[in-house]
A and B are shown apart, each in its own frame.
Chain A
Amino acid sequence: MTIKVGVGVLGLTLLAGALFLALSTRGQAAGPAQPIAFSHQIHAGQYKMDCQYCHADARRSEYAGIPSVSRCMGCHRITAADRPEVQKLAGFFNKNEPIPWVRIFKVPEYVYFPHKAHVRAGVTCQTCHGPIETMAVVEAKTGQTLANDLLNLVGLARTSTPLTMGWCVECHTTMNAKNKTKAPLECAICHH
């Protein structure tokens, strides 16, 4: 009896603490500081640029690809060349250095996620990456995080897609049932 109460109290305390933690961080632009304050909201939102204009490898490779510095400079040699952030970009280009972007989206190393197959199947980028065109700073809390689990539990909307296996499988099964697609459900397709 006492054990049960003990576990219950511990669980509730943790739940309360974690809920507080999750809610208090909600709504902040909590993405990490990037070397250049690049805004997806301006590029993909305001100017409605196609995602694959920059992330051009998504349709042909496992990786979506980060645009090369020269691709950025293709426009920014002229466009907004006087802005301080664009001048930072030009700085990297002139020094012949890559931009050390901080990685946001990542699945564990034992998972193979091919962008190509998803683009071919017509899955939108937002399905996994969230409403990226509205984000001035991209942030994501993926994986088995406390916030995701708690918000899920209490029935609140998630801050971002969790990119967990259950979430992947759910989409695959739903799509197969709804659209008669053949999204694979085989473990070895992603884990090999």
Chain B
Amino acid sequence: MNRRDFFKIVGTSAGAVAAAGCGQAPERILPHVIPPDNLVPGVPAWFSTVCRECPAGCGVIARNREGRVVKLEGNPDHPVNGGTLCIRGQAALQGLYNPDRLRGPIQRDTSGERSIKWEEAEKFLAERLADLVKQGRGKRIVVVGQLESGSLGRLMDAWAGALGAERLTYEPFNYEAIRHASRLVFGRDAIPHYALEDANAILSFGADFLETWLSPVQYARAFTRMHAFRDGKAGTFIHVEPRLSLTAANADEWVRNVPGTEGPLALAILKVILDEGIQAPGVDVALLRAAAKSADLEAAARQSGVGSETIKHLARAFAKAKPGLAIGGGVAATGADAVECQVAIHLLNYATGNTGRTVRFGPDSAFGKASPHAGMVALTQAMARGEVEVLLLNHANPLFTLPPKLGFADALKKVPLVVSFSNQPDETTERAHLVLPDTHPLESWGDFSPREGVVGLMQPTMGHVVDSTGRVFDSKAVGDVLLSVGRQVLPAPAGKGPFRWQTFAEYLKDQWRGIAREYSPATPFDQFWEEALRRGGIWKPVGAVPVQARGAPLSGKPATVEGDAQGLALLAYPSHRFYDGRGANIPWLQEAPDTMTQVSWDSWVEVPAETAKKLGLRGGDLVRVASPHGAVELPAYISDSLHPGAVAIPIGQGHTAERLRYAKDRGANPIALLSGQAAPAGLPFLSVKVTLTRTGGRRPLAIAQATHDQDDREIAQHVGLAAARELELRGAVPEKASHPSMYPDLKYPEYRWGMAIDLDACVGCQACVIACKAENNVPVVGKEQVAYGRDMHWLRVERWQEGKPAHPENLFLPMLCQHCGIAPCEPVCPVFAAYHTEEGLNAQIYNRCVGTRYCNNNCPYHVRRFNWWDYSSPTSRSYAFPEPLPLQLNPDVTVRQLGVMEKCTFCVQRIIAAKDAARDEKRPVRDGEIVTACQQTCPTQAIVFGNLKDMSSRVAKLSRSARGYHVLEELGTRPAITYLKKVTREPHKG
């Protein structure tokens, strides 16, 4: 017996004794009684539906394993998002499986709250409604809900109509200034479709189209097509905004203006175009001249702080683009002058011949159907007067999204019955008398039309969520509740009456008979329906409708901002991660850093460096931000680039609802500082000046990246446009001299997996970060650990900047395991947990790992992540997956335990699956068959994965690109990831 066998026996006998002592219950395997059609355990099934995290309405396909959805991907056939998703779309899964999700209907009164049965709740509501309807007081019932542009919206209209109730569509960001301007200029009450991809130059006045504006995934895709060097067009993008937002950071030219001067600037640009006669031929010059009558170039230059030469340059660059595209939005364009600004933008597009080409009325956006903000103001007043007796809220959280000054909270107290259909315990739902939790969109039937000519169809991608203890999240679709309550209020014989459908699914199918007649009259309906379910909806091309421009008087005055004359203008801007705050309780979104600041888990006030110096502020110092309407306290983030006359706070944090475990008491809500009075452009997010006072307290922010200065390390590289063109012409640069290595050259018999990342296409949106977390069961660690540098992201998006700190060139670099050919991590592992596979992966074998962390210390890219705490065991204090979050875990990936190292695997489970499918057909894996999670979701398709040994593969071609380089090439690690340099445009002098 050798030593090894001896220890084996001693070890196992100890184990046997321990095991015998426990007497574990046997594990059971439960078969289906009757198996569902086409569902095989262990084989994913895909269901198409629509993402409802914002009204952009992207198509989604949900990966269902053993009856639970484990991953969302974009629907490749969908015209809006073409297979990709944004960060919020990826994170929708944690809304479905949110541990704070309501478990069933709740009734609340003065005696407290209790759960009730659905029948009881519906009967209670129906009786109250019936009383009002009988008394002819149906008008005192108000339905307020998020934008529903499909069958549910029509049902709500019909329901409100039958009961005589009022109905409002409430979206906190409704872009009504654009709609208003369209009405004034073109006589069309609509928000047009913007064809960014067809423009040669984009002139954006604050429109954050890479973050939240209208349809961020669609516009990010379109933007790359017009802008990326890769696609040949390499158009120009000019962005006017006081703050260096993510969108501004992607601009070739970022013009920093005084907050609220977008209107005068746009008008001055129009005037320059007219004065220089560079407008498009055939436009009505007299009309334009009349509109630009009050424009004054020098005054605009003075007010905006943008030099008159720059304004002239902008005008020329825009006019010569043919077609160009001017857009406006974001917080800066929701000031008091927002309508004027949008009118000027419409006229700019008209003057340069873009209307009908890049600005298309016809395929109008669904946002044009949202009610104006004035509706909410009127509702609040009616509630305060006691004129509303039943208020039904469908996914609306006005207590969070309306300025408190408006008095919605007090008005709500006057409403005898408040009903919320939300399935999250948000601020307004917390105050509702009756909570009837809706099913999550991923569990629901429905449809949504993001623009004319596109109708996405939603189907349940799984049954109702049941946690591991067997408790069902007892939710019911709003449509079902409305039909059932409606029938009780207005009884009718079976199959008759306004609510004759037993379920909302039946109603939906009935509605789709009409859609079928419109879109495809020749196809039998059953076939049409089945195809629509499979495809994810139905769409057809909708051409631009010709529009006639009309004159509109413009004053050319900047927006007025109330408050202390010495104060700074407040920019309260929609959060890229939380939108209007609805995503704040999703732990993935909390942990994902904001790309520009790299802050996670908190909110902050961005203070210009000048002011910070004056107040003696350091980053993390608590600051009291006060406006005439309220005050909030937030840690400071010192910014070199923010306009000295502004401070900025993202919207989305600052939740107060008791049961939001991830969002409660995190940061502050800047909406509290606004007045909320209705302006012609809706809720004016830019309307107050604030004063800052240092409180003396500190709350350091959790910032993932310590510096944005590359310090000459050339981690993220760039090349000028002219140089890039020349490189391209000359063809591939010769193979770089390989750095010497003491290890023998590796042989890869069949495949060598590699990746190419085009930094010119990456916009830093963080969607890949969350896609990776979802695919690979990466735990969420919380603020303290992130601050300590112990976050677990396998993939992070670094932001590097060059040039003047006030006006830097920004470079975004997705950093993940480089799968080095000569990997520093491998030889230092004492137990062979980190090793090189025959296909070029740096594999990490969790069950071998003993946690020495040598590999981590030896990795120059800092991409290895160590499980410092026990994130995987339910009894641990750091458990990252409270019920029902474990349902989301990918069954193809091990959930790592305490004390082991982990990192990017190049989605090895997807490689194995693709190889398995190829072997079924006795062929090698084809190029493009393996798509990693990060690559799959990337809205700009900056990431390409494949076999480097196949010289014809896309990745191999890109790796030989003249723009290609390796990060820290000089270390001789020979990474499998090639980055393609960002292509920068020559800066304008003047």
User: Which of the 9-residue segments B28-36, B491-499, B763-771 touches chain A?
Assistant: B28-36
Scoring B residues 1 to 31 as 1 if CB is less than 8 Å from chain A, else 0, what string do you get? 1000110111011011000000000111111
* A146 B29 Cβ-Cβ under 8 A: no
For B27, B31, B34, B909, the residue with the greatest tally of chain A CB atoms inside 10 Å of its CB is B31
Bound complex: CA of A110 vs CA of B845, how far in Å? 9
Say if the beta carbon of A145 comes within 8 Å of chain B: yes
Bound-complex Cα distance A167 to B909 (A)? 23
**Chain B residues near A68 (CB-CB < 8 A):** 31-35
How distant is B471 from chain A, measured CB to nearest CB, in Å? 18
B426 to chain A, nearest CB (A): 37
* Contact B40 A61, beta carbon cutoff 8 Å: yes
Of A93, A116, A153, which is within 8 A of B5 by CB? A153
* Residues from 178 to 192 in A contacting B, C-beta threshold 8 Å: 186-189, 191-192
Say whether A146 contacts B845, CB under 8 Å: no
Considering the complex, which residues of chain B in the window 870-909 have a beta carbon less than 8 Å from any beta carbon of chain A? 892-894, 905, 908-909
Q: Would you call A100 and B13 a contact (CB within 8 A)? A: no
User: Do B892 and A112 have beta carbons less than 8 Å apart?
Assistant: yes
CB distance from A171 to the nearest CB of B (A): 18
* Interchain CB contact under 8 A, A70 and B919: no
Of A103, A145, A188, the contact of B29 (CB 8 Å cutoff): A103
A51 beta carbon closer than 8 Å to chain B: no
Q: Which of A63, A109, A120 contacts B920 (CB 8 A)?
A: A120
* B33 and A188 contact, CB distance less than 8 A: no
- A7, B893: Cα distance in complex, Å: 42
A15 and B40 alpha carbons, distance in the complex (Å): 46
B912 in contact (CB, < 8 A): yes
A66 in the interface (beta carbon within 8 A): yes
Tell me if B893 and A101 are in contact (CB < 8 A): no
Report the Cα distance A108→B31, complex, angstroms: 21
Number of A-B contacts (CB under 8 A): 135
| Chain B residue nearest to A96 in the complex (CB) | B33
* Cβ-neighbour of A186 out of B40, B837, B846, B848 (below 8 A): B837
| In the complex, per-residue mask of B806-849: 1 if CB is within 8 Å of any chain A CB, else 0 | 00000000000000000000000000000101110101011110
- The answer to whether A98 and B31 touch (CB under 8 A), given A11-B6, A120-B920, is yes
Q: Is B42 an interface residue (CB 8 A)?
A: yes
Q: Which of A156-192 contact B (CB under 8 A)?
A: 186-189, 191-192
Instruction: Tell whether, in the assembled complex, residue A99 and residue B908 are in contact, meaning their CB atoms are under 8 Å apart.
Output: no
Which residues of A74-123 are within 8 A (CB) of B? Answer: 92-93, 96-103, 106, 108-110, 112, 114, 116-117, 120
B843 and A66 form a contact (CB under 8 A): no
Chain A residues near B835 (CB-CB < 8 A): 187
What is the CB-to-nearest-CB distance from A28 to chain B, in angstroms, rounded to a whole number? 16
Contact at A69–B9, with CB atoms within 8 Å? no
Q: A60-B43, A110-B847, A117-B916 are in contact. Are A144 and B12 (CB under 8 A)?
A: yes
Q: Are B28 and A101 in contact (CB under 8 A)?
A: yes
Q: Are A186 and B33 in contact, with the CB atoms below 8 A?
A: no
Q: Is B9 a contact of A149 with CB atoms below 8 Å? A: yes
Name the contact of B16 in the complex, choosing from A62, A145, A188 (C-beta under 8 A).
Answer: A145
- A188 near B42 (CB under 8 angstroms)? no
Does any Cβ of A come within 8 Å of B41's Cβ? yes
Contact in complex: A109, B894 (CB < 8 Å): yes
* Minimum Cβ distance to chain A for residue B686 (Å): 50
A188: chain B residues at CB < 8 Å are 837, 841, 843, 845, 905, 908
Query: Which residues from chain B contact A98 at a C-beta distance below 8 Å?
Result: 30-33
CB <8 Å contact, B919 and A11: no
A154 to B841: give the CA distance in the assembly, Å. Answer: 41
Kindly provide the distance from the CB of A164 to the nearest chain B CB, expressed in whole angstroms.
11
Q: Tell me the bound Cα distance from A108 to B843 in angstroms.
A: 19
Verify A14–B916 contact, CB threshold 8 A: no
Closest residue of chain B to A32 (Cβ to Cβ) is: B26
Chain B min CB distance to A76 (Å): 14
- Docked-complex contact A62 and B42, CB < 8 angstroms: yes
Q: How far is the CB of B29 from chain A (nearest CB, A)?
A: 5
- Proximity string of chain A (1-39) to chain B, C-beta cutoff 8 Å, 1 when within and 0 when not: 000000100110011011000000000000010000000
Q: How large is the interface on A (under 10, 10 to 19, 20 to 34, 35 or more residues)?
A: 35 or more
Q: State which residues 56-72 of A face B: CB under 8 Å.
A: 57, 60-63, 65-71
Any chain B CB within 8 A of the CB of A128?
no
| Chain A residues with CB below 8 A from B912, complex form | 112, 189, 192
Secondary structure at the B interface, as helix, strand, loop or mixed, is: loop
Give chain B residues whose Cβ lies under 8 Å from the Cβ of A7: 6
Known: A65-B41, A103-B27, A191-B846. A15 touches B916 (CB 8 A): no
Q: What is the chain B residue whose CB lies nearest that of A92?
A: B33
Residues of B within 8 A of A189 (CB): 912
Instruction: Given A149-B12, A150-B9, A192-B908, check contact A99 B40 (CB 8 Å).
Output: no
State A93–B33 Cα separation when bound (angstroms): 7
A57 and B31: CB pair below 8 A?
no
| Set B13, B31, B839, B848: member contacting A146, Cβ < 8 A | B13
How far apart sit A110 and B835, CA to CA, in the bound complex (Å)? 17
Q: Do A120 and B919 contact each other (CB < 8 Å), given the known contacts A61-B42, A192-B908?
A: yes
Chain A neighbourhood of B838, CB < 8 A: 186
Are A110 and B16 neighbours in the complex by a CB distance under 8 Å?
no
With beta carbons under 8 angstroms apart, the residue of A70, A109, A186 that contacts B35 is A70
Report A126-148 CB contacts with B as 1/0, cut-off 8 Å: 00000000000000000011100
Distance in Å: Cβ of B452 to nearest Cβ of chain A: 43
Contact (Cβ within 8 A) A66 B29: yes
Q: Tell me the B589-638 residues at the A interface (CB within 8 Å).
A: none
| Contact among A32, A67, A149 for B8, CB-based, below 8 A | A149
- Docked pose: A22 CA to B142 CA in angstroms: 75
A110 to B897, CA, bound (A): 10
Known: A103-B26, A150-B9. A63 touches B41 (CB 8 A): yes
A-chain residues with CB within 8 Å of residue B42 when the two chains form the complex: 57, 61-63, 65
B residues less than 8 Å from A116 (CB atoms): 916
Please encode chain B, from 366 to 404, with 1 for each CB lying within 8 Å of some chain A CB and 0 for all others.
Answer: 000000000000000000000000000000000000000
Chain A residues with Cβ below 8 Å from B845 are 187-188, 191
User: Who on chain B is nearest to A69 by CB?
Assistant: B33
Give A145 to B15 CA distance when docked, in angstroms.
Answer: 9
Report the Cα distance A96→B31, complex, angstroms: 11
* Chain B residues whose CB sits within 8 angstroms of the CB of A63 once the complex forms: 41-42
In the complex, what's the smallest C-beta–C-beta distance from A125 to chain B, in angstroms? 17
Choose among A18, A32, A145, A186 the residue that contacts B843 (Cβ–Cβ < 8 A): A186
Could you say which of B28, B41, B846 contacts A57, with CB atoms under 8 Å apart? B41
A189 to B1 Cα, complex, angstroms: 33
Write out the residue numbers on chain B whose beta carbons fall within 8 Å of the beta carbon of A114: 916
Shortest Cβ gap from B908 to chain A (Å): 5
Within the assembled complex, what's the spacing in Å between the Cα atoms of A145 and B34? 37
Q: Hey, which chain A residues are within 8 Å of B40, CB to CB?
A: 57, 60-61, 65
B913 → chain A closest CB, angstroms: 10
Residues of A within 8 A of B919 (CB): 117, 120
Closest to A65 in B: B41
Q: Are A146 and B837 in contact (CB under 8 A)?
A: no
Contact among A18, A70, A96 with B13 in the assembled complex (CB-CB below 8 Å): A18
A110 touches B905 (CB 8 A): no
Hey, which chain A residues are within 8 Å of B892, CB to CB?
112, 192
- In the assembled complex, which residues on chain A have CB atoms less than 8 Å from the CB atom of B894? 109-110, 191-192
What residues of chain A lie closer than 8 Å to B28, measured between beta carbons?
Answer: 100-103
- Evaluate contact between B1 and A108: CB separation under 8 angstroms: no
**Which residue of chain A has the shortest Cβ distance to B750 in the bound complex?**
A182
6 contacts between A and B (CB under 8 A): A61-B42, A62-B43, A63-B42, A93-B33, A144-B8, A192-B908
Q: Residues of B with Cβ closer than 8 Å to A?
A: 1, 5-6, 8-10, 12-13, 15-16, 26-35, 40-43, 835, 837-839, 841, 843, 845-848, 892-894, 905, 908-909, 912, 916, 919-920
Which 3 A-B pairs rank lowest in CB-CB distance, beginning with the nearest?
A61-B42, A188-B843, A62-B42
Question: Given known contacts A32-B26, A116-B916, A120-B920, what 17 new A-B pairs fall within 8 Å (CB)?
Answer: A11-B1, A63-B42, A65-B42, A68-B33, A69-B33, A96-B33, A100-B28, A101-B30, A101-B31, A102-B26, A108-B847, A109-B894, A120-B919, A146-B9, A146-B13, A188-B841, A188-B905
